[in-house]
Amino acid sequence: MWKKITKPPVQAKPLWATLGFWQVCLILAPLMVVGHGDAQTSKPTMRITLEEAIQLALTHNHALKAARTQIQESEAQEITATLRPNPVLSTDAAFLPIFSPSNFNVPISQNPLPEEFDAGISYTIERGHKRQARIAAARDATTVTRSQVSDTARGLAFSVAQQFVSTLLARSNLEFANKDLESFQQTVKVSESQYEAGDISEGDLLKIRVQLVQFQTDVSAAELALAQGLVTLRQLLGYDAVPADYDLAGELGYVPLHGNKEDLQLLAIKQRPDLLAAQQAVTAARSQLQLAKADAKRDVTPSFQYSHVTGVNAASLGVNMELPFFNRNQGEIARTRYAITQSEESRTATQEAVLADVGNAYEAARANQKIVDLYLAGALKHAQDSRDISEFAYQHGAASLLDFLDAERSYRSTQLAYRQALASHMLSLEQLRLAVGTRSLP
C-alpha cells in the first residue's frame, strides 16, 4: 500500500528574512535617528561661564538697552544746542482796493489810493556766546548720562553674578542630594537585610524608611531651585541670548581675597561710574550757570526792508533789541548757583558712600573667607569620618540607629553649610567688585 507522505507545515518567515538588506536599513534608519536625537536633547546645547553670562546680559538685556537710549536722546539734544536762529522773511501789501474791484483796472496815475508793497528780512544775532554755552551744557549732560548708564550696567553685572552663584549653589546641592540619596538607599537595603535576619526591629526599619523620604524631598527641592535659578538667570541675560536648555559652566569655588581695603577704596574712587557721574554733574551744573548768564544778554535783531509805494522803490534798515530793565534772568542764575552747591554736596555724599560700600564689602569677604577656612581646616573631614564610622558601626551592630541617624544628619547639614559658605564667599567677592566698580580685583 502506498503511504501518503505529508509535508511538514511551512513556518512563516519573519519579516526581516523576507526583506532585503537595504530594505531593513531603510526601516531602521528613522528609528536610529530618533534614538540619537533623544540622546542629544538630554544634553544642554549651550554652557556659559560667569563672565560669558555677564557679557550676554550687557548685550541682550532689554532694560539696559532701554537705558542706553538715554545717551542717544542726550546726543540728539546736542544737535539741537548747535542750531542757529532762522532768518525771518516778512512781506505785506497795503491799500489794495478789495471793496472796489473796479479800481484794479485803473491806471496807477489815476488811482486815488496809493499801492504799497513791502518785503523784508531779519536775523537774530545771539549775544553773550549763547550757542557755545548751550553746546557745552548739552555735552556735559551727555557725559553724565553715559556714566549713569554705565552704573546701570554695573548693577546688572552684579545681579547676573548673584543669580549665577545662586544657581551654582542649587546645582551643587542637587548633586549632593542625589549622591546622599544613593548612599542612604544602600543603607536601607542593608537594613532590610538585617531586619529579615532578625538583627534589627521593625521599628528601626521604619525609622530608616521615614528618613529616606527626607532625602527624596531634598532632591525634589534642589531640582526646583535649580530650574527656577536657570529661568531667572535667563531673564537677566535676555530670552533671545540663550536657548531654553542652556546650562552653567563652572562650580562653586574658593578664591582667597587679596589686596587691602585702602587700595580698593582708592581704586573705587577712580572706577565707580556713579561717583564719576556725581563729579561730572558738578561740571554740568557750572555749564548751566554759564548758560543762564549768557541768556541774560539781550539779542540784537537787525532787519532790511524793501518798499514799493506807488511806483517809488525804497529801502530801510532797522535794529530791534529788548531793553533789560526788569528781566535779566536773575532767577535762573540764582537757581543754577544753588544747583552747583547741591551737586557738590551730592558728589561728597556719593564719595563717602563709595568708601563705606568698599569697607563693608571687604569686611564681609574677609568674614566669609574665615568661615570657609574653618570648613577646609577639618570640619568637612570630621563630619565625613563621623558619618562613615557610625554607618560601619551600625551595620555591624556596634552602634544604635539613633547614633547613626544623628551622624547622618550632622554630615548632611555640614555639607550643605559648607556649600552655602562657598556661595556666600563668592557673593561677597561679587559685592566687592560691585563696590569697587571693576571686575578685576587686585
Condensed to tens digits (0 to 9), the pLDDT of residues 107-126 reads 555 555 567 888 999 999 99
Residue boundaries of the structural domains of the chain: 45-105+114-436
As a whole number, mean pLDDT of residues 29-38 equals: 40
Q: Note the pLDDT of residue 112.
A: 57
Contacts of 158 (CB under 8 A, 6+ apart): 430, 431, 433, 434
Phi, psi (rounded to 5 degrees) for 122: -140, 155
For 6-29, how does the pLDDT look when each residue is reduced to its tens digit (9 = 90+)?
Answer: 444 444 444 444 444 444 343 444
State the pLDDT at residue 3. 39
Burial class (CB in 10 A: 0-12, 13-18, 19+), 53: buried
Give the Å distances, CA to CA, from 109 to 112, 313, 314, 380.
Answer: 8, 16, 19, 118
Q: For 199, phi and psi rounded to 5 degrees?
A: -80, -25
Tens digit of pLDDT for each residue in 302-314?
A: 999 999 887 788 9
pLDDT grade, residue 97 (50/70/90)? low
Q: What does the pLDDT read at residue 181?
A: 86
Q: What pLDDT is stored for residue 196 in this prediction? A: 83
Q: Please give the backbone phi and psi of residue 90, each rounded to the nearest 5 degrees, phi first.
A: -130, 140
Rounded Cα distance between 299 and 154, Å, is 45
Q: What is residue 375's predicted lDDT score, i.e. its pLDDT?
A: 86
Which pLDDT belongs to residue 9?
45
Q: Per-residue pLDDT averaged across 289-296, rounded?
A: 94
Q: Tell me, what's the pLDDT at 21?
A: 43
Question: Nine-digit cell at 408?
Answer: 547622618
Lowest mean pLDDT: which of 36-50, 287-301, 332-346, 388-402?
36-50
* pLDDT at res. 301: 94
Q: What's the chain look like in SS3?
A: CCCCCCCCCCCCCCHHHHCCHHHHHHHHHHHHHHHHHHHHHCCCCCEECHHHHHHHHHHHCHHHHHHHHHHHHHHHHHHHHHCCCCCEEEEEEECCCCCCHHHHHCCHHHCCCCCEEEEEEECCECCCCHHHHHHHHHHHHHHHHHHHHHHHHHHHHHHHHHHHHHHHHHHHHHHHHHHHHHHHHHHHHHHHHHHHHCCCCHHHHHHHHHHHHHHHHHHHHHHHHHHHHHHHHHHHHCCCCCCCCCEECCCCCCCCCCCCHHHHHHHHHHHCHHHHHHHHHHHHHHHHHHHHHHHCCCCEEEEEEEEEECCEEEEEEEEEECCCCCCCCHHHHHHHHHHHHHHHHHHHHHHHHHHHHHHHHHHHHHHHHHHHHHHHHHHHHHHHHHHHHHHHHHHCCCCCHHHHHHHHHHHHHHHHHHHHHHHHHHHHHHHHHHHHCCCCCC
User: Does the pLDDT at position 293 exceed 80?
Assistant: yes
pLDDT of residue 28: 42
Q: What is the CATH number of domain 45-105+114-436?
A: 1.20.1600.10
pLDDT score of 108: 53
Q: Is the dihedral of CA 180, 184, 185, 186 positive or negative?
A: positive
| pLDDT value at 184 more than 90 | no
**Which of the pair, 327 or 100, is modelled with greater confidence?**
327
Q: In the prediction, which pLDDT does 14 show?
A: 44
Query: What's the whole-number mean pLDDT along residues 250-256?
Result: 87
Length of the chain, please? 442
Half-sphere exposure of 313 (CA within 13 A, CB side): 2
Confidence at residue 270, expressed as pLDDT on a 0 to 100 scale: 92
The rounded distance, in Å, linking the Cα atoms of 295 and 127 is 8
Distance CA 205, CA 47 (A): 43
Residue 294, Cα to own-chain centre: how many angstroms? 41
pLDDT at 205 over 90: no
Region 142-160 average pLDDT: 95
- pLDDT band of 204, cuts 50, 70, 90: confident
Residues of the chain with pLDDT > 70: what percent? 85
CA distances from 440 to 53, 67, 259, 264, 433 (A): 16, 25, 12, 11, 8
Is the pLDDT confidence value at 42 over 60?
A: no
The pLDDT of residue 312: 83
pLDDT at 36 over 60: no
**How far apart, in Å, are the Cα atoms of 101 and each of 87, 111, 138, 233?**
36, 12, 57, 82
How far is the C-alpha of 164 from the C-alpha of 59, rounded, in Å? 17
* Pairwise CA distance, residues 415 & 392, whole Å: 20
Higher pLDDT, 118 or 259: 118
Q: Which whole number is the average pLDDT over 377-383? A: 83
| Segment among 109-118, 264-273, 402-411 with least mean pLDDT | 109-118
* Lowest-confidence pick of 55-69, 186-200, 328-342, 345-359: 186-200
HSE-CB of 325 using CA atoms within 13 angstroms: 2
Query: Per-residue pLDDT averaged across 260-285, rounded?
Result: 94
Q: At what angle do helices 401-436 and 380-395 cross, to 10 degrees?
A: 160
pTM of the shown model: 0.79
Q: What is the mean pLDDT of the chain?
A: 84
User: Residue 425: how many CA atoms within 13 Å on its side-chain side?
Assistant: 22
Residue 66: per-residue pLDDT: 95
Q: Is the pLDDT of residue 47 over 70?
A: yes
